Amino acid sequence: MQEKFDQLKQMAKDELLSVFSTKNLFELKTKYVGKNGEITALLRGMKDVPASERANFGKMVNDLKVEVSEMFNQKEIELKEKELAEKFESESVDVTLPGKINKNGSLHPLNLVKNKILDAFCGMGFEVFEGPEIDTDYYCFQALNIPKDHPARDMQDTFYITDNVLLRPHTSPGQVRTMEKKAPPIKILSPGRVYRADDDASHSPMFHQIEGLVVDKGVSLCDLKGLLDEFVRIMFDEDTKTRFRPSYFPFTEPSVEVDVTCCKCHGKGCSLCKGTGWIEILGAGVVNKKVLEMSGIDSNVYSGLAFGMGIERITMIKYGISDIRTLFENNVKFLKQFNRR
């Protein structure tokens, strides 16, 4: 009998040697000490043991069971430790590895500047109205008091599609389209692409403008000055000054051109401002009464102011860009420099 027990113990010991996971261990445990296990089966054979030996037999089986279970428990502790160590190893993070860099895109400098201009004026109560890029002679010229023989109408300056339909050469038709649709008070910005037959380091056949229009009772050149002074402070910096020079546009009377102190030399004179200390940024004026009347607004009751600026020009001044063409080449190395600025 003892021999059989020893054999069983040895078998369990041997089998235990080839167990490498808690799952296999569990199976082995069931095989020996489970409900239908080999050692449990010994107890069931108790009935065949003579009564006088039963007590001893029972004790021996129990001892065996305790011993074998002890072996299994010991193995279980070892395996659990090993499996936990493996889990930690496989889930560990090497904090010395270089991080992954997410390359974020960035806005094109023209969009950065456009957004900044829109933000500045929207903060002063302006709304945005976008007009069509292909427009008629009426909206681009006639309704803006640009006479038939005006040089802007020349084929050399303007891209005509037919005699009457053209690529808008400025965003000023946005003024007319707004005044036709909306009764005063009006306070709008009209951004968008414009087209002119011009191509060199400071002119592109396609570029962007933003038009501004205010129509209300008692609007004057003073309001224009206040508005634009505030705008340049937001766009450039607090110390930037403006200068209004008399000019001429058929749709404004009086008309002005607005200069700002050079943002590079702050008015001392440098190559950017060609030694003058000033840089021109936009055209503006008090809306010509004829233009108000043509769009159905009573010029005895209402007056208006308008301004128009080139986004490329402002961008070039702000970032010191000397050739307009770099803004359209889509050279990533160039564009990356404007990231988050």
By the 8 A CB rule, do 140 and 166 touch? yes
195 Cβ neighbours under 8 A, 6+ residues apart: 133, 158, 159, 167, 168, 169, 205, 206
- Our finding on whether 306 is near ligand PHE (CB under 6 A) is yes
Q: Is 121 in the site for ligand PHE (CB under 6 A)?
A: no
Q: Hey, is 209 helix, strand or coil?
A: strand
283 binds ligand PHE (CB under 6 A): yes
* CA dihedral over 232, 236, 238, 241, signed as positive or negative: negative
Q: Is 177 in the site for ligand PHE (CB under 6 A)?
A: no
Contact segment (CB under 6 A) with ligand PHE among 6-14, 40-48, 96-104, 278-286 equals 278-286
Contacts with ligand PHE in 239-258 (CB under 6 A)?
Answer: 249, 252
- Vertex 23 angle, CA 19 and 24, to 5°: 30
Q: How far is the CB of 162 from ligand PHE (least distance, A)?
A: 22
CB 297, CB 215: distance < 8 Å? yes
> Least distance in Å: CB of 334 to ligand PHE?
27
> Closest CB to ligand PHE among 19 and 258?
258
CB of 229 to ligand PHE, least distance (A): 17
CA atoms of 331 and 303, how far apart (whole Å): 45
Stretch near ligand PHE under the rule CB under 6 A, chosen from 28-36, 158-166, 277-285, 289-297: 277-285
Q: How far apart are CA 157 and CA 312, in angstroms?
A: 18
Q: Is 307 in the site for ligand PHE (CB under 6 A)?
A: yes
Q: Which 19-38 residues touch ligand PHE, going by CB under 6 A?
A: none
Q: What are the residues binding ligand PHE (CB under 6 A)?
A: 170, 172, 211, 249, 252, 283-285, 306-308
